[in-house]
């Protein structure tokens, strides 16, 4: 089956120039390059770096490639160096510029070729299809088709369900439920970027469906929330470019209404930026989140988010060696909001403990994080429990507590079980504390921790 409409050969040829210093006109690019298996895979997975590398390898210059896809040559160079392309609009422009059908790149709801529809069984009735499925199951289980006849089944799934003709609140609620479910899975296993990113990307197609203004606004907010969850999963997976893409989309889509999702995205951007050691820029994001939150009408969730902004601001001020401002931010967070349940309290205790550590108040930090870990043990929030244990292990090792090494070993092994790069990166202070000790067991644990970090 052809991949898409052929690339016009003359569109891939440089226009001759009279400049004696100009490059030699490029050779026409064979459109068969888009039928290559590696090109097909790259297009389907949005691996634009590989797409560009194949084209350049076929003799297309970066300059001409940039002209075709509507980018600057520096942007093309960055993508060739590994920069990911996530924006739907940019992917559409690339498809159009290269003459590739949008369906091939998963940019339209349909089969691999636009308009192709679901796979077709020629001269096969419904009974034969069912028997073929039985045969496939038997072959998988027994190695031979004892339950039906062999019939070639399609090598790709049927087209996705069509979009609704009218957007309703049921669609909004369904997306919110899906977001909550995926967020819970990420909290238990860690990571989740590979699942959440394509879901968030596809969800934006819902914005094109006709609907009441209030419903469309609610959908935009729901998609912004999904982007926030996807962004945090990407950060947890150390996919920082992908995280920034999601947070940018969340700020764009979530600025309507009370702007809560905008503030949440700016808050996540601040925390993730600060954790990478960019304290000043992280602080600016947190301030941006607070500025938008100040424009919103008073509400319980605004008060709660404001408290989180304050406590993480305290963490940043601690790193910036401003204990006075850190203390003021912690006091503001504590006085403005009281956690309604133990889950929220445990989360707040852990982040407050990090701020206390940054101010050198280890005893306060140990008390707070110990309380958080006791609550998280056995809950579905396994990722947060491991983060807490890592923090507590570092405190115990540094203080020379008895049993600290056993506690450290448990924290290291639990971090290795998660799909969370962030959790493994947080082993660094623990590894350093173990390295500072002179006994052989501590040094061996430090080696294990450093090995886990680099996996």
- Max Cα–Cα distance, the chain, nearest Å: 81
Highest mean pLDDT among 164-173, 220-229, 339-348: 220-229
Which CATH code fits 9-105?
1.10.260.40
What residues contact residue 361 under an 8 Å CB cut-off, 6+ apart? none
Residue appearing with tokens 């924006």:
87
**Out of 88-92, 243-247, 299-303, 363-367, which region has the weakest mean confidence (pLDDT)?**
88-92
What pLDDT, on a 0 to 100 scale, did the predictor assign at position 116?
A: 40
Dihedrals φ, ψ of 167, to 5°?
Answer: -80, 130
Q: Residue 212 pLDDT more than 70?
A: yes
Q: Would 9-105 and 339-455 be classified into the same CATH topology?
A: no
Q: Residue 16 pLDDT more than 50?
A: no
What pLDDT, on a 0 to 100 scale, did the predictor assign at position 19?
A: 45
Q: Residues 101, 5: contact at Cβ < 8 Å?
A: yes
**Out of 106-120, 208-222, 406-420, which region has the weakest mean confidence (pLDDT)?**
106-120
Instruction: Please compute the mean of the pLDDT values over residues 363-388 and round it to a whole number.
Output: 92
CATH class name, domain 339-455: mainly alpha
Instruction: Please compute the mean of the pLDDT values over residues 303-332 and round it to a whole number.
Output: 96
Q: DSSP string of 145-167? A: -TTS---PPPSSPPPPPPPPSSB
Q: What does the mean pLDDT of the chain come to?
A: 84
Residue appearing with tokens 């001269």:
123
Coil, strand, or helix at residue 296? Answer: coil
Question: How far is the first Cα of the chain from the last one, in angstroms, to the nearest whole number?
Answer: 41
What pLDDT, on a 0 to 100 scale, did the predictor assign at position 313?
A: 97
- Domain extents for the chain? 9-105, 339-455
Q: pLDDT digits over 412-427, tens only? A: 999 999 999 999 999 9
CA distances from 48 to 17, 112, 226, 269, 421 (A): 30, 17, 24, 25, 24
Instruction: Please compute the mean of the pLDDT values over residues 389-415 and round it to a whole number.
Output: 94
Nearest to 209 by CA among 173, 165, 253, 161: 165
* 76 vs 37: which has the higher pLDDT: 76
What pLDDT, on a 0 to 100 scale, did the predictor assign at position 104?
A: 74
Q: Residues 372, 389: contact at Cβ < 8 Å?
A: no
**Host H or E run for residue 399:** helix 382-399
Residue appearing with tokens 């006791």:
374
Q: Residue 21 pLDDT more than 50?
A: no
How sure is the predictor about 130, in pLDDT bands with cuts at 50, 70 and 90?
Answer: low
What pLDDT, on a 0 to 100 scale, did the predictor assign at position 13?
A: 41
Q: Residue 315 pLDDT more than 90?
A: yes
Coil, strand, or helix at residue 143? Answer: coil
Instruction: Please compute the mean of the pLDDT values over residues 27-35 and round it to a whole number.
Output: 74
Instruction: Please compute the mean of the pLDDT values over residues 237-263 and round it to a whole number.
Output: 93
What pLDDT, on a 0 to 100 scale, did the predictor assign at position 378?
A: 79
Instruction: Please compute the mean of the pLDDT values over residues 296-323 and round it to a whole number.
Output: 95
Q: Residue 10 pLDDT more than 50?
A: no
CA 455 to chain centre: 19
Q: What number of CA atoms fall less than 13 Å from residue 375's CA on the CB side?
A: 17
Q: pLDDT digits over 200-210, tens only? A: 999 999 998 99
| 293-329 as b/e: b if 16+ CB within 10 A | beebeeeeebebbbbbbbbbbbbbbbbbebbebbbeb
Instruction: Please compute the mean of the pLDDT values over residues 288-294 and round it to a whole number.
Output: 96
pTM: 0.69
* 134 vs 48: which has the higher pLDDT: 48
CA 163 to chain centre: 24
């Amino acid at each position: 089956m052809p991949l898409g409409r052929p690339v016009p050969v003359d569109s891939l040829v440089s226009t001759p120039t009279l400049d004696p210093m100009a490059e030699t006109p490029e050779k026409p690019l064979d459109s068969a390059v888009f039928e290559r298996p590696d090109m097909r895979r790259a297009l389907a997975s949005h691996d634009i770096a590989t797409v560009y590398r194949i084209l350049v390898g076929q003799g297309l210059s970066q300059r001409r490639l940039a002209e075709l896809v509507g980018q600057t040559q520096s942007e093309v160079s960055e993508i060739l160096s590994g920069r990911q392309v996530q924006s739907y609009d940019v992917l559409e422009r690339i498809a159009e510029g290269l003459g590739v059908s949008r369906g091939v790149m998963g940019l339209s709801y349909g089969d691999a070729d636009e308009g192709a529809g679901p796979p077709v069984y020629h001269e096969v009735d419904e009974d034969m299809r069912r028997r073929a499925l039985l045969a496939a199951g038997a072959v998988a289980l027994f190695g031979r088709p004892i339950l039906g006849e062999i019939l070639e089944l399609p090598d790709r799934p049927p087209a996705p369900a069509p979009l609704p003709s009218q957007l309703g609140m049921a669609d909004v609620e369904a997306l919110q439920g899906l977001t909550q479910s995926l967020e819970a899975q990420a909290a238990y296993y860690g990571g989740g970027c590979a699942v959440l990113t394509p879901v968030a990307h596809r969800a934006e197609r819902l914005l094109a469906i006709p609907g009441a203004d209030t419903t469309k606004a609610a959908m935009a907010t729901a998609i912004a929330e999904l982007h926030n969850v996807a962004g945090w999963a990407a950060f947890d997976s150390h996919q920082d470019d992908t995280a920034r893409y999601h947070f940018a989309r969340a700020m764009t889509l979530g600025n309507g209404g009370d702007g809560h999702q905008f503030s949440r995205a700016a808050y996540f951007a601040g925390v993730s930026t600060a954790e990478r050691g960019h304290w000043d820029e992280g602080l600016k994001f947190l301030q941006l989140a607070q500025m938008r939150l100040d424009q919103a009408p008073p509400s319980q969730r605004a008060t709660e988010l404001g408290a989180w902004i304050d406590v993480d601001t305290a963490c940043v001020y601690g790193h910036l060696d401003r204990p006075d401002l850190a203390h003021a931010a912690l006091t503001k967070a504590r006085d403005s909001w009281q956690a309604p349940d133990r889950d929220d309290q445990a989360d707040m205790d852990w982040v407050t403990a990090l701020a206390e550590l940054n101010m050198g108040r280890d005893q306060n930090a140990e008390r707070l994080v110990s309380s958080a870990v006791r609550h998280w043990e056995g809950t579905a929030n396994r990722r947060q429990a491991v983060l807490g244990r890592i923090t507590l292990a570092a405190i115990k090792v540094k203080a020379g507590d008895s049993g600290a090494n056993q506690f450290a070993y448990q924290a290291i092994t639990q971090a290795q079980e998660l799909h969370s790069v962030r959790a493994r990166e947080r082993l660094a202070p623990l590894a350093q504390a173990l390295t500072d000790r002179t006994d052989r067991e501590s040094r061996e644990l430090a080696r294990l921790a450093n090995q886990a970090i680099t996996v």
